[in-house]
Amino acid sequence: MEVTRYQSHAVSVIEINHPPVNALSSLVCQALFKEFVEASKDPSVEAIVLCGANGKFCAGADIREFKSTSLMKTISIEDINGNIESCKKPVVAAIEGVALGGGLELALSCHYRVAHIKAIVGLPEVLIGILPAAGGTQRLPRLIGIPAALDMIVRGRHVPATEAFQLGIVDQVVQTNAIDAAVHLAREIIGKPLDNRRLSTLPVQYNINIEDFFDNALKKAKIQFFGAQAPLACIEAVKASVELPFYQGLKKEQELIASLVTTGQPQAQQYAFFSERNAGKWTLPSGEGWDNVSPKIIKTTAVIGLGTMGRGIVTSLSKANISVIALEQDEKQLNQGKKAVISLLEKEAEKLNKQGKSSSFANGLGPVHFTLDFGEIRNVDLVIEAVYENMGLKKKIFQKISKILKPDAFLCTNTSGLDIDEIASVTNRPQNVIGMHFFSPANIMRLLEVVRGCYTSPITIATTMSLGKTLGKVAVLVGNCPLFVGNRMLLPYVEQAGYLLEDGCNPEDVDNALEHFGFAMGPFCMMDLAGLDVGWRSRMEKGLTGDRVPTGTPARQRQGNRYCPIADMLCELGRFGQKAGMGWYKYEKLGGRKASPDPWIRDFLEKYRNTHQIKSHVINSEEIIQRCLYVLINAGFKILEDGIATSPEDIDVIYNNGYGWPKYRGGPMYYAATTGLAKVYETLDRNYKANPDIPSMKPTFLLRKLVAVGEPPLKEWKTQLGNLNNKL
């Protein structure tokens, strides 16, 4: 039974019961409509309470039912809303857990709203590429005013109950059972007038210059959400609440959502939504997986190394109320790390206080203890190592801590790409060793690559995946290979960016094209931010640059393949990026963030091309995008072929959450599918034939096979490989 109804004296309680989140599927909508009509007609009923089963009001329309252009569902939710709002008997929403999207729209059509203190409300449709389309953009501004409503709708913000009360979205916040409180309120208001409680009948109040306000909002949104259409549609819809009568406003919502669907962005974002949820459902070839292996509960942790990454990881753990021992190698580094962590925690505490939640950090510090003494970590449940990227050092540390720690403690490394098995092999419990690859800044970035080595046990995977979720991360299980998934795909992309400079581009041409595509940052800006020396050191270790390059090696060749030495040349001149005040761009000061194109680089590139007698040509944005992205996608196919990622969806989750890929394009593998695999294949093949010294352009076996079998849907790609090479 999707919707049940029972009566408590004169109050009829209608409960949505559709696990896991009481989403409004077609069946739920039909049942809700029917139960509501019956309750409203029943003479023994004098008031109605609307609630959800299992402590959740409702997470909105059932996204699983969204199919391309079908909008029937959203229309029927508004049908229910209209009925509720016009009901002559008072209707009270009892909000527990979540009231999101269509769920909040349902509640807004009720005459009163009571929320549990832990509930959250919001209109997050924008995050799945659409807009609230069951009256949300018309009723919310009438209830809380335009600026607050617009902010919630355009950002898709989750609003905690206490803030919802301050904004006027809910009438009561209770610490106890919200349904009992709603029934109580319903009884009190029986027979009282409801006219000013029907939001559709109220005027939108404002004392701002509406034209200016919406123009500014549009300008800001075009920058902040570059390329995404849904935020702009949300603004238009809210504007309609001021300009049009309520029912025309509803029509506008429908028109806008229909036009969004034609852009393909909602489909991409909904694919990204479900891919993210599926990433947590890991399964090993043995059949062990998320649904049959229980994680260990992690209460105490240690983080070794408080540099760029360690600080963020400590903050992340502390934020999740997990106790941390933070370790450094000397007093100076410890003090620096401590200062940085305290400052980050203070900011977190401030945010929590603003949301009306009390923070558990006394003076900005939670359960974090700083020390130089490795002996103090002996009783922790899990350790995350974040020292320099150096195999020798990591092995020394793992050997040392495996002797100190209790036998069942887990040992995790934050390495960006070193061999997990080699690290595990020096410990007395390789089955408890795993990679937890956080992204910088670790307290903010949502992605976590959980890297399984060949010894890693299912319990270790379950525990770290579950810890990732507790930290609010999107954890994706990947296999062990140099650079894992995200960084491995990035390598040929950055390499191509270098070749583009040789062939005639300036750094800003490449960055602009990719930023216009939707990346948060182009490759040269990204390198300047991360520091060019990071890649330089790694290339030196690999013997690609520096003293270990055999004499007589041509400047633009390594092991017979094309090589672009420009980044190395910049490093030799100390142009390390932002921290040096210059890199691919120049900056206003050391550590500055405002990049400007540098005439010096232009001159340098011209001289470089002359020296190497490179005939440059004009390269347009399309060529830049294709050259950079197709090799990245090709690497994604190789990763699937090698069994390093479980599915193309997992790769997309990694790129959407860790590499600034525009979510409204779904992710690189989804993009390949929507572009057409044949086009990707043919372009790569053509380019590879013209440049046989660039192996990353050679189309992979899987890509070729998928084209040959007629481009099956993305969900079926892996079946083309069978169980070859599964490294997970």
Residue 63 in contact with ligand T1G, rule: CB under 6 A: yes
Q: How far is the CB of 319 from ligand T1G (least distance, A)?
A: 16
Q: Which is nearer to ligand NAD, 147 or 307 (CB)?
A: 307
Q: Which is nearer to ligand NAD, 87 or 471 (CB)?
A: 471
Q: How far is the CB of 446 from ligand T1G (least distance, A)?
A: 12
Residue that is written with structure tokens 């603004």 in the block: 235
DSSP 437-465: EE-SSTTT--EEEEEE-SS--HHHHHHHH
# chain residues binding ligand T1G, by CB under 6 A:
25
CA angle 644, 649, 654 (to 5 degrees): 70
Residue nearest to ligand T1G (CB): 101
Residue 233 in contact with ligand T1G, rule: CB under 6 A: no
User: Which amino acid type is present at position 180?
Assistant: D
With CB under 6 A as the contact rule, the residue among 4, 9, 27, 64 that binds ligand T1G is 64
Q: How far is the CB of 476 from ligand T1G (least distance, A)?
A: 14
In the list ligand NAD, ligand T1G, none, the entry touching 63 (Cβ below 5 to 8 angstroms by class) is ligand T1G
Q: How far is the CB of 76 from ligand T1G (least distance, A)?
A: 9
Residue 128 in contact with ligand T1G, rule: CB under 6 A: yes
* CB burial of residue 667 (10 Å; 0-12, 13-18, 19+): buried
Q: How far is the CB of 285 from ligand NAD (least distance, A)?
A: 28
Q: Which is nearer to ligand NAD, 171 or 328 (CB)?
A: 328
With CB under 6 A as the contact rule, the residue among 14, 51, 60, 488 that binds ligand T1G is 60
Cβ contacts of 702-705, under 8 Å, gap ≥ 24: 702/637, 702/638, 702/640, 702/641, 703/634, 703/637, 703/677
Positive or negative CA dihedral for 560, 561, 565, 567? negative
Among residues 15, 78, 105, 276, the one annotated as catalytic is 105
For 371-427, where are the alpha helices, taking DSSP H only? 391-404, 420-424
Q: Which is nearer to ligand NAD, 445 or 706 (CB)?
A: 445
Give residues with Cβ within 8 angstroms of 675, minimum separation 6: none
In the list ligand T1G, ligand NAD, none, the entry touching 308 (Cβ below 5 to 8 angstroms by class) is ligand NAD
Q: Which is nearer to ligand NAD, 76 or 464 (CB)?
A: 464
Q: Which is nearer to ligand T1G, 52 or 522 (CB)?
A: 52
At residue 499, the 3 state secondary structure works out as helix
* CB burial of residue 617 (10 Å; 0-12, 13-18, 19+): exposed
List, in sequence order, every residue forming a beta bridge with 93; answer none if it has no partner.
50, 113
Q: Which is nearer to ligand T1G, 277 or 369 (CB)?
A: 277
CA angle 87, 90, 96 (to 5 degrees): 110
In the list ligand T1G, ligand NAD, none, the entry touching 328 (Cβ below 5 to 8 angstroms by class) is ligand NAD
d(CA 525, CA 68): 36
With CB under 6 A as the contact rule, the residue among 59, 167, 405, 412 that binds ligand T1G is 59
User: Which amino acid type is present at position 638?
Assistant: K
In the list ligand NAD, ligand T1G, none, the entry touching 387 (Cβ below 5 to 8 angstroms by class) is ligand NAD
In whole angstroms, how far apart are CA 536 and each of 500, 567, 595, 642? 19, 8, 21, 27
User: Which amino acid type is present at position 615?
Assistant: K
Using left for φ > 0, alpha for ψ between -120 and 50, and beta otherwise, residue 560 falls in: left
Q: Which is nearer to ligand NAD, 13 or 483 (CB)?
A: 483
Give the interface with ligand NAD as residue ranges (CB under 6 A).
Answer: 304-310, 327-329, 333, 386-389, 393, 397, 414-416, 438-440, 530
Beta strands 98-100 and 112-116: pairing type? unpaired
Q: Which is nearer to ligand T1G, 123 or 405 (CB)?
A: 123
Residue 568 in contact with ligand T1G, rule: CB under 6 A: no
In the list ligand NAD, ligand T1G, none, the entry touching 125 (Cβ below 5 to 8 angstroms by class) is ligand T1G
**Contacts to ligand T1G from residues 394-423, by CB under 6 A:** none
Residue 28 in contact with ligand T1G, rule: CB under 6 A: no
Length of the chain: 728
With CB under 6 A as the contact rule, the residue among 2, 15, 35, 62 that binds ligand T1G is 62
Residue 251 in contact with ligand T1G, rule: CB under 6 A: no
Beta strands 159-160 and 172-174: pairing type? unpaired
* Omega before residue 441 within 30° of 0, cis: yes
Q: Which is nearer to ligand NAD, 400 or 705 (CB)?
A: 400
Residue 130 in contact with ligand T1G, rule: CB under 6 A: yes
In the list ligand NAD, ligand T1G, none, the entry touching 114 (Cβ below 5 to 8 angstroms by class) is none
Candidates 109-117, 122-130, 233-241, 641-649; binding stretch for ligand T1G (CB under 6 A): 122-130
Please answer whether residues 87 and 42 qualify as being in contact, where contact means their C-beta atoms are separated by less than 8 angstroms. Answer: no
Residue nearest to ligand NAD (CB): 307
Q: Is 2 tagged catalytic?
A: no
Among residues 2, 85, 96, 125, the one annotated as catalytic is 125
d(CA 647, CA 644): 9
Q: Is 348 tagged catalytic?
A: no
In the list ligand NAD, ligand T1G, none, the entry touching 660 (Cβ below 5 to 8 angstroms by class) is none
d(CA 459, CA 381): 13
Q: How far is the CB of 417 from ligand NAD (least distance, A)?
A: 7
Residue 471 in contact with ligand T1G, rule: CB under 6 A: no
d(CA 443, CA 313): 6
In the list ligand T1G, ligand NAD, none, the entry touching 47 (Cβ below 5 to 8 angstroms by class) is none
Q: How far is the CB of 370 from ligand NAD (least distance, A)?
A: 12
Q: How far is the CB of 64 from ligand T1G (least distance, A)?
A: 5
Among candidate residues 566, 585, 570, 608, the one with its CA nearest the CA of residue 526: 585
Q: How far is the CB of 596 from ligand NAD (least distance, A)?
A: 24
In the list ligand NAD, ligand T1G, none, the entry touching 105 (Cβ below 5 to 8 angstroms by class) is ligand T1G
Cβ contacts of 244-247, under 8 Å, gap ≥ 24: 246/138, 246/200, 246/201, 247/200
Q: How far is the CB of 156 from ligand T1G (least distance, A)?
A: 8
In the list ligand NAD, ligand T1G, none, the entry touching 386 (Cβ below 5 to 8 angstroms by class) is ligand NAD
In whole angstroms, how far apart are CA 632 and each of 159, 529, 644? 38, 21, 15
Please answer whether residues 293 and 456 qualify as being in contact, where contact means their C-beta atoms are separated by less than 8 angstroms. Answer: no
d(CA 44, CA 51): 20
Q: How far is the CB of 333 from ligand NAD (least distance, A)?
A: 4
d(CA 19, CA 547): 63
CA angle 671, 60, 85 (to 5 degrees): 140
* CB burial of residue 412 (10 Å; 0-12, 13-18, 19+): buried
Residue 100 in contact with ligand T1G, rule: CB under 6 A: yes
Q: Which is nearer to ligand NAD, 304 or 500 (CB)?
A: 304
Give residues with Cβ within 8 angstroms of 3, minimum separation 6: 14, 15, 16, 17, 28, 31, 32, 34, 35
Q: How far is the CB of 290 from ligand T1G (least distance, A)?
A: 10
Residue 102 in contact with ligand T1G, rule: CB under 6 A: yes
Show which residues are catalytic. Answer: 105, 125
Residues that bind ligand T1G (CB under 6 A): 20-21, 23, 59-64, 74, 77, 98, 100-102, 105, 124-125, 128, 130, 132-134, 136, 277
